[in-house]
Amino acid sequence: MKIVVLKFGGTSVGSIKKIKKVADIIAGYKKKKYKVIVISSAMSGVTNELIKKSFEISDNFSESEHDVLVSSGEQVACSLIAGRLIHKGYKSRSWLSWQIPIITVGIHKNSRINEINRKKITKYLKEGGIPIIAGFQGVNNENRITTLGRGGSDASAIMVAKFFKAQRCIIYTDVEGVYTTDPNKLKKAKKIKVISYEEMLEMASLGAKVMQPVSIQDARLNRIDIEVKSSFIKKTGTLITKRSSIINNKIVTGISSTQNDSKVSLIGVKDKPGVAASIFKPLSKNLINVDMVVQNISANGRETDLTFTIKTEDLNKTKKAIQENKNINYRKLLFEKGVSKISVIGVGMITTPGVTFRMFQTLANKKINIQVISTSEIKISVLIDKKNTKKALSALHKEFKLDNKK
């Protein structure tokens, strides 16, 4: 069977007009004799609204009920798409995860797809039907509804492509593809024709919302090529694929930035073995993700300062966990909300020395202070004052020749 998986994001199904357009795109593939499997997200804004409602009920809303609640948005979008296709004369229906089923493992709000039963969908495809599958959701082995983390319908699409051995997996979104940096933040951003899984994974993890990081991991493990393109403009998008298929002479492929980071500093903690561990243990117990960490060299051999970053949404939990931790002493505890992490990413860095220097010099020329640094083989991240984000993005984009047409 020649199967294509089409995933539509929130903005692509954000209004009735757009849903009608989506139905036309789907019909186009059907006419080209593809067996089409569609994955849809909720209409844009709906998931956020549902989460807001849960907070109005309780600031400690049940995690299992959270998943039942927020997964409902996808049901609406799927039935509207299926309804439109039926209106156009096609055989179509919506499928919720428990009806297939799509089995997940892991915790509520952050589960992962482990298995998809192919039987019913395969039969439906053979009968000429167009299944419209709700993204973002699954069921666990206790038959409870689960969700896959924000942006999780990307992961639904990749895993459906894997289990149904799809020939193509296309992610339709509101931009024309993956850009050198967020095109909504920097006008000069350029569309990238081809990008490796590794670079895309770094870009997504470091703030490029266009793809959910977990979905890229799944695609990389299963060697699934992903096409990212616009639902609104008919143009070639971006191909995400394995590194060996790419010829690239750029040192830096893209630049990502984050919006919602906070910085925590503990001033004057004892400089002895085990202190960092005792600070981070309660954070990990509370499922708080610590990102960048820096510990100053102790000036007097007795005391040091420790700084780390977290997501701003975890700030209150973090404050509480540190203040209630009787195992650590510090002189001062500082929190700062207005920080942003800027990262330059590219496999070309492995073989090109001097990228770190160029990044730091560029920021220095713009009088932007670097607060924390972290690096890996293919990326360099720095923490800066949030108000300098745009200036930094623009200067780095130019420095690494990303302004130039490819």
Q: What CA dihedral angle connects 131, 132, 135 and 140, to 10 degrees? A: -50
Q: What CA dihedral angle connects 379, 385, 387 and 390, to 10 degrees? A: -20
Please give the single-letter amino acid code of residue 243: R
Applying CB under 6 A, does 47 fall inside the site for ligand ASP? Answer: yes
**299-338: contacts with Mg ion (CB under 5 A):** none
Query: CB of residue 205 vs ligand ADP: minimum separation in angstroms?
Result: 12
Of 136 and 400, CB closest to ligand ASP: 136
Cα–Cα distance, 217 to 301 (Å, whole number): 42
Phi and psi angles of residue 213, each rounded to the nearest 5 degrees, phi first: -55, -45
Over 83-101, what HEC string results?
Answer: HHHHHCCCCEEEECHHHCC
User: Which window, 20-28, 151-159, 265-273, 328-336, contacts ligand ASP (CB under 6 A)?
Assistant: 151-159
Which of the choices Mg ion, ligand ASP, ligand ADP, none does residue 208 contact, using the CB cut-off of 5 to 8 A by kind?
Answer: ligand ADP
Query: CB of residue 17 vs ligand ADP: minimum separation in angstroms?
Result: 16
Contact between residue 197 and residue 216 where contact means Cβ atoms under 8 Å apart? yes
**166-225: contacts with ligand ASP (CB under 6 A):** none
Six token digits for residue 5: 């998986």
Instruction: Write out the H or E segment, with its range, that includes residue 76.
Output: helix 72-87
Which residue in the set 14, 129, 131, 135 belongs to the binding site for ligand ASP (CB under 6 A)? 135
Query: CB of residue 19 vs Mg ion: minimum separation in angstroms?
Result: 17
Six token digits for residue 375: 């690096």
Which residue in the set 11, 40, 41, 389 belongs to the binding site for ligand ASP (CB under 6 A)? 41
Which of the choices ligand ADP, Mg ion, ligand ASP, none does residue 11 contact, using the CB cut-off of 5 to 8 A by kind?
Answer: ligand ADP
List strands edge to edge, sheet with 137-139. Answer: 112-116, 102-105, 137-139, 145-147
Q: Nearest to ligand ADP by Cβ — which residue?
A: 9
Which residue in the set 3, 4, 9, 42 belongs to the binding site for ligand ADP (CB under 6 A)? 9
Applying CB under 6 A, does 40 fall inside the site for ligand ASP? Answer: no
Cα–Cα distance, 219 to 172 (Å, whole number): 16
Query: Which residues of the chain form contacts with ligand ADP (CB under 6 A)?
Result: 9-12, 41, 151, 173-175, 178-179, 181-184, 203, 208-210, 254
Query: Which residues of the chain form contacts with ligand ASP (CB under 6 A)?
Result: 9-10, 41-42, 47, 73, 135-136, 150-154
